[in-house]
Amino acid sequence: MTETLERSRTPVLYLSHGAPPLADDTTWKAELAAVSARLAKPTAILIVSAHWEAAPLTLGATETVPLLYDFWGFPERYYQVQYAAPGAPELAAQVRKLLQVPGTPVYDDPARGLDHGAYVPLKEMYPDADIPVLQVSMPTLDPAQLYAIGRKLAPLRDQGVLIVGSGFTTHNLSAINLGGPSDATAPTWSIEFDDWARRALANQDVDSLIDFPHKAPAAGLAHPRTEHFAPLFVSLGAAEESLRSAETVVDGFWYGLSKRSWQIG
């Protein structure tokens, strides 16, 4: 019965989305296109990005509004990217029902467009921008609380909703050389953390992943601030019963940062 349920449910993703220039990496683009090609077309996409922290939990625009170019110092062409995906008001209503409890409101931000943690990977996966997308904020960076949010969102998978956590498996911009080649050898701290995360998820060791600041090697270097690893825990909670099926769909490093991404379910 459990195996049948898992096969019928839409998988969950955690993507290392990168900065806007990662969309110039032809290998990464091809890998993301391959991920979407193997999935049934979602009825809608719910995405949690490292670049939106807001408490209480907040729902982004439920109709198409301009993208949020939440970065600076890049060539003008990155600010010309468009991704006019439909809004997802029906999905927003369902999320509100699943997450809103007395004393814990769910807010709306109707003017907030998709940030680059959302539209950069989605543009490579679903370039036609014909799937409704809802972005949801992270109300906390606490892994256990984010995992619990993911668990509450899990029923959406039975309706064909693709739940995506978008971050970066290692993320320390001050400790890498952005002026060097993008395929330069990654630093030891990034390699060690990436390998630990890979093994922990393969072993379904959720407790260690949740306690990664104390359990993972070089955790403080891999994530001086944890917002880029945090979306993983929403994905893990939403895919709790499917963790044994987790598989890496993107790996390797970009300017020393781990691009590892997982499909679960």
Token pair for 27: 């290998």
Sign for the CA dihedral angle at 262, 9, 144, 102 comes to positive
101 secondary structure, DSSP code: B
**Average pLDDT, integer, range 167-181:** 93
Q: What percent of the chain has pLDDT over 90?
A: 91
pLDDT (0 to 100) of residue 70 = 95
Q: Are 37 and 264 in contact (CB under 8 A)?
A: no
Angle at 109 between CA 169 and CA 68, to 5 degrees: 55
Q: How far is Cα 122 from Cα 119, in angstroms, rounded to an integer?
A: 5
Q: How many CB atoms lie within 10 A of CB 137?
A: 21
Half-sphere exposure of 81 (CA within 13 A, CB side): 28
* Interval 88-134: pLDDT, tens: 999 999 999 999 988 889 999 999 999 999 999 999 999 999 999 99
Choices 3.40.830.10, 3.30.830.10, 3.40.50.2300, 3.20.190.10: CATH for 2-264? 3.40.830.10
pLDDT at 24 over 60: yes
| φ/ψ of residue 163, rounded to 5 | -95, 125
- pTM of the predicted model, to two decimals? 0.95
Confidence grade of residue 58 (pLDDT, cut at 50, 70, 90): very high
**Average pLDDT, integer, range 10-16:** 98
**Average pLDDT, integer, range 187-191:** 98
Q: How far is Cα 149 from Cα 17, in angstroms, rounded to an integer?
A: 21
Alpha helices in 116-218 (DSSP H): 116-125, 143-153, 188-202, 206-210, 212-215
